[in-house]
Amino acid sequence: MTARVSIGVATAAVLLAACGSSPTSTGGSPSPSATVTPTTAANTLIVIADYRQSSPETTPIVLHLVRPDGTEATRLTLNAGAITTTASGSRIFVVERGGALKALHRDGSVEELGNLASTTPTPIVASPDGNSWLWGTLDTNGKGTVYAGTKGASPRVVDQSTETARAVRPYSWTQRGPAIEHGAVGIGGYILFYTATGPIDLVDPASASITSLNGTTDCSFSDLATNGMNACFPHGKGHTLSLMAAGGQVTSVALPADRFAVEGAAYFSPNGDQVIVGGATGAGAGNERFATDLVKTSDGSITPLSLDNVRPANGEWAWMPDGSLIVYRPQVAAAGPGVWLVGPSGTVTKLAAAGEPIGVLTG
């Protein structure tokens, strides 16, 4: 069983909004021809991590929990040495010294989730509701192991690597479930976008059975839609996004070379009709310029986002239910950092002057 405790973080400021009254029902039924547009829940908070330039061992990470209208609801400070890269459902996943996994909640309370059996686990990959999660470990012989965790249950091994110079590790939680990467070991350098460095396996969330995803051996995987369409970047073909339908048909999308010298962060919209894709000039830290374009999955047509010089957030959660998009500029951008929410009609709301969005809380 997991236990909720109220220690482990220092709350710098808590400015929780009062609960509003529920709207009154009119009692009518919608017309069969009416179009229902998903809306973002009123309690939604976008989690923005202020990763300081110094080590988290000496400068703790500050988390800003921001409403879609740009107002800050809560500010939380992690313990020294703690790291976080993922937030979903009601949980912000935090790994502390020694591999202890905890879930930080919007009210500052902390939920104990066990130990990851490693002081250097891979980043947590969590389900949209935050109730299931994956992580990976790498032993001294280069053997990778992927574990699955669920509230109230003991961790279980999902996959282990058997290849040379590769290791299995969680990559993302797609609309079809978790994706595991058979990734290259020892990658480093100036990485603006992380796309898969090896073949992808899909994990069935219910049975934990594993199936290889076709087309990911020679095309760097980014995301998978509910209908089975795969967004990836083909090896040896720069400035190109491939949309692979479940039936095998491939739509090749040419990305503007001047804005997409480096490309990545391709994520499907909730209904699968669009893909957001990020790009950068590759000019180097302090000189970088970013780009974000929208691609229609029906025909591959491409349109720049209304806000220029930004990149998508790192995950399919960059799409809000109403079609809004979370975008940002990291510290390496020539124009300086920032985080924004771009609405379906092109309206822009500034969420933070700096930091990196790491997820969305809905509970």
Q: In this structure, are 173 and 258 located in the same domain?
A: no
Q: Are residues 235 and 343 in the same domain?
A: yes
- Same domain as 241, residue 154: no
Q: Which residue among 190, 213, 236 closes a domain?
A: 213
- Number of residues that make up the chain: 363
Helix (H), strand (E) counts: the chain: 0, 30
Q: How far is CA 95 from CA 87, 114, 244, 315, 323, in A?
A: 12, 10, 36, 19, 31
Q: Cα separation of 183 and 197, whole Å?
A: 5
**Residue 308's CATH number:** 2.120.10.30
Answer yes or no: is 185 within a domain.
yes
**Is residue 40, in this structure, part of any structural domain at all?**
no
The answer to whether position 74 is within a domain reads: no
Query: How many domains is the chain partitioned into structurally?
Result: 2
Q: Do 232 and 346 share a domain, yes or no? A: yes
Half-sphere exposure of 281 (CA within 13 A, CB side): 14
Indicate the residue among 213, 244, 279 that finishes a domain.
213
Domain match, 252 and 203 both:
no
Query: Do 208 and 274 reside in the same domain of the chain?
Result: no
CA 266-233-227 angle, to 5 degrees, is 55
Residue 33 lies in a domain: no
Which residues lie across from 78 on neighbouring strands?
9
d(CA 232, CA 256): 16
Answer yes or no: do 201 and 157 share one domain: yes
Long-range contacts of 207-216 (CB under 8 A, 24+ apart): 208/148, 208/156, 208/158, 210/158, 210/159, 210/180, 213/179, 214/244, 214/248, 215/242, 215/244, 215/250
How far is the C-alpha of 294 from the C-alpha of 265, rounded, in Å? 12
In this structure, the answer to whether residues 156 and 235 fall within a common structural domain is no
Q: What is the pTM (predicted TM-score) of this model?
A: 0.88
Asked if the structure places residue 23 within a domain, the reply is no
d(CA 168, CA 166): 7
Residues 244 and 276 placed together within one structural domain of the fold: yes
Burial profile 152-179: b = 16 or more Cβ within 10 angstroms, e = fewer: eeebeebbebebeebbbbbbbbbbbbbb
Are 314 and 258 in the same domain? yes
Domain that holds residue 162: 116-213
What would the two tokens of residue 240 be?
């190109």
**Predicted local distance difference test score (pLDDT) of residue 2:** 36
How far lies 204's CA from each of 122, 171, 173, 194, 222, in Å? 20, 14, 11, 23, 18
Give the CA dihedral 49, 55, 59, 62, nearest 10 degrees.
Answer: 10
* 41 is a domain residue: no
Render each residue's pLDDT in the chain as its tens digit; 363 residues. Answer: 333 232 233 333 322 222 333 333 333 333 333 344 566 777 999 999 998 765 656 788 999 999 999 999 999 999 988 999 899 999 999 999 889 999 999 999 999 999 998 878 889 999 999 999 999 998 877 789 999 998 888 899 999 987 888 899 999 999 999 999 999 888 888 899 999 999 999 998 878 889 999 999 999 999 999 999 999 999 999 999 999 999 999 999 999 999 999 999 999 999 999 999 999 999 999 999 999 999 999 999 999 999 999 999 999 999 999 999 999 999 999 999 999 999 999 999 999 999 999 999 999
Backbone angles phi, psi at 97, to 5 degrees: -50, 140
Confirm if 218 and 234 have CB atoms less than 8 A apart.
Answer: yes
The confidence score (pLDDT) of residue 54 equals 57
Same domain, 233 and 268: yes
Does residue 244 sit in the same domain as residue 335? yes
* 146 contacts 133 by C-beta, under 8 angstroms: no
360 in a domain, yes or no? no
* Residue 56 pLDDT: 58
Domain boundary, last residue among 146, 178, 213: 213
The answer to whether 262 touches 279, Cβ cutoff 8 Å, is yes
